[in-house]
Amino acid sequence: MRRLADSGYVAGAIEIGALAFVPRPMLELGLLQPMRRVTAGTVAAVPLALRRGIAINLGGGYHHAHPELAHGFCLYADVPIPL
């Protein structure tokens, strides 16, 4: 998670080189916070699915990320986080 403080790292993970030049506060507000909100939606969907038998997070599915590595536009691995 500390690596997400580096715009260059984020740019590489998202595969958009120009993000390396975006100030960190702008990345936080425009990219990282929204991705964390989507991840929170996946976390919230799990107990709902257990209670009702189904739940969907239309914004979720950042499945390319790994616990130790963001990859292929995915900074947060939202699927395994709630597990």
Rounded-to-integer distance, Cα 7 and Cα 33, Å: 14
Residue in 46, 45, 83 with CA at minimum distance from that of residue 67: 83
How many domains does the chain contain in total?
1
The model's pTM: 0.80
The pLDDT of residue 63: 66
Is residue 75 in a domain? Answer: no
Is residue 46 in a domain? Answer: yes
Instruction: List the alpha helices (DSSP H) in the chain.
Output: 7-14, 24-27, 33-52
Mean pLDDT to the nearest integer, 5-13 = 89
Rounded-to-integer distance, Cα 46 and Cα 52, Å: 10
The pLDDT of residue 57: 92
Is residue 16 in a domain? Answer: yes
Measured CA angle at 3 (ends 8, 35), to 5 deg: 85
Is residue 26 in a domain? Answer: yes
pLDDT exceeds cutoff 70 at 71: no
Is residue 52 in a domain? Answer: yes
Structural domain that includes position 49? 7-70
- pLDDT of 14-63, one tens digit each? 888 999 999 999 999 999 999 999 999 999 999 999 999 999 999 887 66
| Tokens, residue 25 | 């506060």
Active-site residues, by number, are 64
